Chains A and B, each alone.
Chain A
């Protein structure tokens, strides 16, 4: 166990996809990076750069072909399905581009869902889900189904679902991709607030102005890290130009 402040430590991670025959896609070709607690990181890159693959590995949805992945000091690169599910449940909050809410369940139940799989009692679940919904200013929409909510509201339900287990990281994959720019800004504001409250946020995007909300930017190209450093703030200019 490491006692340092690293939430995520990737060492020389590779991921190959066997496309049948002799062909192999090298989605990641030796990626090493560390992310500290309470960082706000944007992972950027054009499509095909391997950023989705990297996100899936960081999110424990997939395992690397080779390399070592320490999550809170624990080696997850060789874990089985069930252990990965446990990590995803307790340590990772996902926010997706397409919201990925359950259409037949109301907002409250959607937020409750991770707690069901965590084995938390019904009363406690309801209380925490309600609290988290209030946290994202949706306390009054608890019993609305996703199709009765606007895009921004849906994404806030998704953020509440990600937050409700108090995870180590929040992993957002193009969270504004399906929103108009005004609503997108609102969601980014929410992420900033969550970051200020001490959450670790990893943002995967190909939009530069969204990435600018983060404090550190990792650029991927052809399965390798191209640049990794603080975000150059052009934001004020961009907002003025809007």
Chain B
């Protein structure tokens, strides 16, 4: 009851004081507005970067392991690993027979080929040869049609599944299903189209790829290529066991004696998400620190103006003390005023930042995280209380006799 009465009085005084010094209040609040706008936009941008990374990484599939010649991220000396032998297609069949934790195994080979259809063409597309199991051992989803069947796969039929970007380039106005395209000059009939994946890994996503049966690929584009073996582990809890098992199988296939290091790597999406998680964290820390500086400057502005306000109202403080205001009451009055200034700044900042975040969204798909609203309100209040503290403390400690005598 006691506190509520004083708090109400504090709010009433704060708003009266803000109204009485409009220009000053606007200018002071501007510092907080700019601070909140930059911090919230930074948070929105970081959210966007995070989403983009996660979306890109999702293209690799969370449950898929990639058995490859080279690691995705490594501190190893390139010289020690560059002479590793290529992986072979036949490994896939052996892994499929021996591995117990996996439910799909697909060998994948790839090369760059020009795609064309009539007058339409696309350079820099990535042609991949694989088996029908690929659809289960990769992070792709079909948007239309189907993946090639086991029969088409083992028979090396001239069928293909194309990525979303390929479809856009070769079939700007038509349904690609059933039509024939040329991959490096060889005709393939389109049976399926992948959903768009987006992201920042270009040809590693399905978007600019074309998938054809492995045998057909080897016939048309050669068979002496490095192979990636993609396997799916259906139970995420068995991921580590699966990796151990695969490592054992691979070492046997490679005839590695004990003590010799692996000459292959088992890669996983997690490697990317961990790496990008670290990158995002660094960007977030640096970005929020720099934008936080503007909020800090805004806070100094508030502190400055609160000192002015306290000095100007010395006599008022004297009057209030004379009629019974305690130190705490005076302290609260000025803290409430500083907090109110900052809160107004924070709310205006959010109102300005929201449409700006929609503009950011055009370049970097994102949305202002909902939590940002509460966090920035909380931060503005905190900035107000912290920067109001010293001036309020000075006011609270004033000697009533001297304060009353102040002209």
Contacts and interface: CB of A to CB of B under 8 A. Distances in A.
Interface of A: 56, 59, 61-62, 81-82, 85-86, 88-90, 94, 96, 100-102, 104-105, 113-114, 116-122, 161, 165
A90 B324 contact: yes
B200 interface: no
B338 to A, nearest CB: 18
B361 interface: no
Contacts of B9: 116
B5 A120 contact: yes
Contacts of B1: 119, 121
Interface in B277-318: 315-316, 318
B319 A117 contact: no
18 contacts: A61-B321, A61-B400, A61-B401, A85-B324, A88-B324, A90-B324, A94-B322, A94-B323, A96-B404, A100-B318, A100-B319, A102-B316, A104-B16, A114-B323, A117-B323, A117-B329, A119-B1, A120-B5
Contacts of B401: 56, 61-62
B142 interface: no
Interface string B190-213: 000000000000000000000000
A181 B289 CA distance: 66
Contacts of A118: 324
B326 A100 contact: no
Nearest to A164: B323
B323 A81 contact: no
**Residue among B9, B315, B322, B325 with max Cβ neighbours from chain A (10 Å):** B322
Contacts of B323: 88-89, 94, 113-114, 117, 161
B237 interface: no
Per DSSP, chain B at the interface is: helix
**Residue among B5, B6, B9, B324 with max Cβ neighbours from chain A (10 Å):** B324
A24 B316 CA distance: 30
**Residue among B9, B316, B322, B323 with max Cβ neighbours from chain A (10 Å):** B323
Nearest to A173: B404
Contacts of A161: 323
B23 interface: no
Contacts of A81: 326-327
Contact of A113 (B2, B8, B315, B320): B320
A174 B38 CA distance: 56
B75 to A, nearest CB: 64
The 7 closest A-B pairs by CB, nearest first: A89-B324, A119-B2, A117-B324, A114-B323, A85-B326, A100-B319, A61-B400
B73 interface: no
Nearest to A89: B324
Given A88-B322, A100-B319, 5 more contacts: A100-B404, A101-B319, A116-B6, A122-B5, A161-B323
Contacts of B319: 100-102
A101 B322 CA distance: 12
A90 B325 CA distance: 11
A97 B399 CA distance: 19
A89 to B, nearest CB: 2
A51 to B, nearest CB: 14
B20 interface: yes
Contacts of A82: 326-328
A37 B327 CA distance: 30
B324 A119 contact: no
A104 to B, nearest CB: 5
B5 A121 contact: yes
Contacts of B6: 116-117, 119
A117 B325 contact: yes
Contacts of B327: 81-82, 85
A61 B400 CA distance: 6
A129 to B, nearest CB: 13
Nearest to A117: B324
Contacts of A90: 324
B343 to A, nearest CB: 21
Nearest to B400: A61
Nearest to A93: B323
Contacts of B8: 122
